[in-house]
A and B are shown apart, each in its own frame.
Chain A
Amino acid sequence: MAPSLCIKCQKERAVIIRPKNRHKLCRECFLSVFETEVHETITQNSLFQPGERIAIGASGGKDSTVLASVLKTLNERYNYELDLCLLSIDEGIRGYRDDSLETVKRNAVQYSMPLVIVGYGELYGWTMDQVVEQIGKKGNCTYCGVFRRQALDRGAERLGIKHVVTGHNADDVAETVMMNLLRGDLSRLSRGTSIVTGSAASDIKRSKPLKYAYEKEIVLYAHHKQLDYFSTECIYSPEAFRGSARTLIKDLEKIRPSSILDIVRSGEEMAVLVPMANGGQPAEEESAVGGCGSQNGRTRGGEMAEMEKTLAQNEVAAVLETEIKIPSQQNGAVPIPKRQTKQPKKQVLGKCERCGYISSQKICHACTLLEGLNKNRPKAAIELELDAEEEESSTTLRRQMEEVQLAG
């Protein structure tokens, strides 16, 4: 078969089939199409103001590396006049973070951007490895997610920056839509789909310029641009709702590649229909993306089973309920004061009494978690080892990438 030509320039040989729409493109055209699409996302949603200082939440992974590279390119090409810098969080997970931080350090040099690393250790007095020693492998994603959210904000604050961009891609957003549908959490669903988050009370804005970019295309972009990134998944904890949603989305993508974008679209439509979604946005203490804020964020295992149990109990309780009818009111009788119908609880944002972080409670989630941790300190240290299985996962992406690439 004769090699097909790029459908855009009609000159070069096509080397890529776009996962999104199966268009055949040459390297140059793919890179330019990808960049243009991100540019359109940025301009259509007016994400940035000229002169704005932006912190890129950088993990060293493919998404944030591509984000940093594309933003640098676009900033120069279209004259955004942005002042970009990299902001990294060191959760203190040996074997996962120290290697990826090395990548971020190299990125900082490659893109000539300043880099700030904020550690859980210095912020909270606990690294994730220490948290895991204390509470075990189960359920630690809650800690990581809560800590991370604050850490990015605090890091940005330290730099005097009011806008953090993260590398969430279309697959992440689609996953969040499906996951929150399964979990029955409409307010998270609506928050997860919006491109800019951050409540009025918080002065730090978050946005996701890669919201419409496919994960597979991000991998392709990184590959063809020969970006230096670190590919591994967090070594802790299995998944539940997110895992289920992820499997479903991978299957959907096989049937109809546009599904990911279609789900994002559905999510945007649904977000409009969520009661109260536009009014008082609930306080965002945890990451909008679920348990852990990382790209590979996973919720605690067994969460689905737990929810099933609660729902089953509610069902049993509902059967036992007896409807009591109030007898029709007689003349002259004193009216029985009607019980007020329960209004959806509105969250009021205040500041945490301990750390001053925005919180709807007296003490913010992070401080509550810390209190629990500190109570039981000290404990014997346990050495952590990497499973052979975890090591393997780093090759997954490379394999996926090879699959989507057009055979030369």
Chain B
Amino acid sequence: MPGKPLSNTCVDCRNADYVLTIRGRSLCRECYIQFVGYKVFKRMEKYRLRRDLPINGPCSVLLPLSYGLSSSVLLHMVHAQVQRLLSKPHAPPGFELQVLIVEPSSISSSSPPHNEAFQLLQQRYPHASFTKLPLHSVYEYVPGLGDILSEYAGPGFADDVSLPPKDRLDTFRGSITSATSIADVDSVLLNRLIVAFAKSLRCFGVVWGDSDDRLAAKTLASVSKGRGSSLTWQVSDGTSPFGVEFTFPLRDLFTSELQNYANFFPDLTDVIIPDTPLSDNILTKNLSIDQLMMRYVSSQGAKYPGVMSNVTRTANKLQASRITTDGSRCALCETLICNPKGTSSHFQLATDSNQFCYACERSRPGLS
């Protein structure tokens, strides 16, 4: 039985002094990087070895980057994999890494533009191709979105197509009043932009930078917003309802572990926009559901990290193939509309139009 380390040596290599303890193992810098990196390495196997994918020809994978801690660490790790593959003479065909940055300032006006980071990234990660898009380019990538948004927002909203896309999107978002609904609709639009962009590059899959605790919060938030059936792709690996493969390579790592990893690499920390911690002074009712769940998971996760990661593992057991649906899709989020047996009139909302799924209906202006 491995007892407590008798000395300061790293339990893996026994060559260097340990600097950090992760899950009861005291490791040196190199072994820590390897331990954490291996979890991601394993999860990228599908693309590295092209499991169930065409062996010849190009194979692109899209990594959406928010400049946040998790997605930046993921980029760092996956890029290292690509680099290693390229350096080997008889390496498997591997994959090409595409990175999409949806400008944070176009999602939230409080985020800085962060333009210099884009240059830095291109220099530091030469084996990846970078694209930068604002959120409002979703109009361009998703044909007919303008009409869908007009229908969604209802008669109180007038879409002026002569306006620049940024203003059109701002007006649309301005018609939604609650923090939860805005956050919900934003994430739907972000998802659509990322998927549409991945398809435009013929990417086989999208690798998401959600860490373990983030996935737990996302699970609880999705359930609270009436998106129960979306768990099969929001937090689970596999083919998404949009046709591209979704993978969450950081699912075994906690945010704090990623932070420790990032601290080892100064050139990583200077591109990351640190998360602004939620102030404890905000009244609960002014939070969005996503924020409430992040707060819940981080406070409970401090005491019960295992219970929190088990939430996601539980959600991963749900089987997408069992969905009861007539094949119709929500016009806004594009997912299959799930019709559970005996769906009652209690779920019919005032402005029922059959176009949108239950959860998207819930976030419609005027209903929230």
The residues of A that contact B345 with a CB separation of less than 8 Å are 40, 44
Tell me if A401 is interfacial: C-beta within 8 Å of chain B: no
Given the known interface contacts A182-B311, A254-B284, A275-B322, the answer about A265 and B342 at a Cβ–Cβ threshold of 8 Å is no
Asked if B223 and A266 sit within 8 Å, CB to CB, the answer is: yes
Is residue B317 within 8 Å, beta carbon to beta carbon, of the partner chain? yes
Interface bits B301-315 vs A (CB < 8 Å: 1, else 0): 001111101110111
Q: Which residues of B contact A315 (CB under 8 A)?
A: 23, 306
Determine whether B127 belongs to the interface, using a CB cutoff of 8 Å to chain A. Answer: no
Task: Chain B residues near A256: list those with CB within 8 A.
Answer: 178, 180, 289, 368
Nearest B-chain residue to A307, judged by Cβ: B307
Q: Total A-B residue pairs with C-beta atoms closer than 8 Å?
A: 152
A263, chain B: closest CB distance, angstroms: 6
CB atoms of B362 and A262 under 8 A apart: yes
- Chain A binding surface, main DSSP class: helix
A311-B344 contact given A177-B223, A263-B223, A266-B223, CB 8 Å threshold = no
Given contacts A178-B223, A268-B340, contact A273 B178 (CB under 8 A): no
Q: What total of chain B residues lie within 8 Å of the partner, measured CB to CB?
A: 58
Contact B289 A259 (CB under 8 A): yes
Which stretch from B44-52, B144-152, B226-234 is at the chain A interface?
A: B226-234
Min CB distance A257 to B, Å, is: 10
Question: Is A244 close to B, CB under 8 A?
Answer: yes
CA distance A258 to B287 in the complex (A): 15
Task: Name the one of B180, B223, B229 contacting A181, with C-beta atoms under 8 angstroms.
Answer: B223
Residue interface bits B332-346, CB-to-A below 8 A is 1, else 0: 000000101111111
Instruction: Name the residue of chain B whose CB is nearest to the CB of A271.
Output: B340
Note all chain B residues with C-beta closer than 8 A to A37.
346
Contacts of B224 in A (CB 8 A): 252, 259, 262-263, 266
With A181-B219, A259-B224, A266-B222: A273-B320 Cβ-Cβ less than 8 Å: yes
Q: Are A251 and B292 in contact (CB under 8 A)?
A: yes
Closest to B295 in A: A251
Neighbour of A255 across the interface among B24, B180, B324, B342, CB < 8 A: B180
**Which residue of chain A has its CB nearest to the CB of B25?**
A319
- Which B residue's beta carbon lies closest to that of A37? B346
Interface of chain A residues 256 through 306 with chain B (CB within 8 A): 256, 258-259, 261-263, 265-275, 304-305
Given the complex, which residues of B lie within 8 Å of A307, measured CB to CB?
A: 304, 306-307, 310
B323 at the interface (CB under 8 A from A): yes
Q: In the bound complex, do residue A319 and residue B342 qualify as a contact, i.e. CB atoms below 8 Å apart?
A: no
A37→B368 CA distance, assembly (Å): 21
Does the CB pair A251–B284 fall under 8 Å? yes
Task: Give min CB distance, B192 to chain A, whole Å.
Answer: 21
Given contacts A244-B300, A256-B178, A266-B223, is CB(A45)–CB(B306) below 8 Å?
no
CB distance from A179 to the nearest CB of B (A): 11
Out of B317, B347, B358, name the residue touching A186 (CB < 8 Å).
B317
A residues within 8 Å of B by Cβ?
37, 40-41, 44-45, 177-178, 181-182, 184-186, 195, 212, 244, 248, 251-252, 254-256, 258-259, 261-263, 265-275, 304-305, 307-308, 310-312, 315-316, 319-320
Given contacts A184-B313, A263-B224, A268-B343, 6 further A-B contacts (CB under 8 A): A45-B342, A184-B311, A184-B314, A259-B224, A259-B225, A266-B227
List the 6 shortest-distance A-B pairs measured between CB atoms, nearest first: A266-B228, A311-B306, A262-B226, A269-B228, A273-B318, A269-B229
21 examples of A-B residue contacts, CB within 8 angstroms: A37-B346, A44-B345, A45-B344, A181-B311, A182-B310, A254-B285, A256-B178, A259-B289, A261-B346, A262-B362, A266-B223, A266-B225, A267-B223, A268-B228, A269-B229, A270-B231, A274-B317, A274-B318, A275-B318, A308-B304, A320-B2
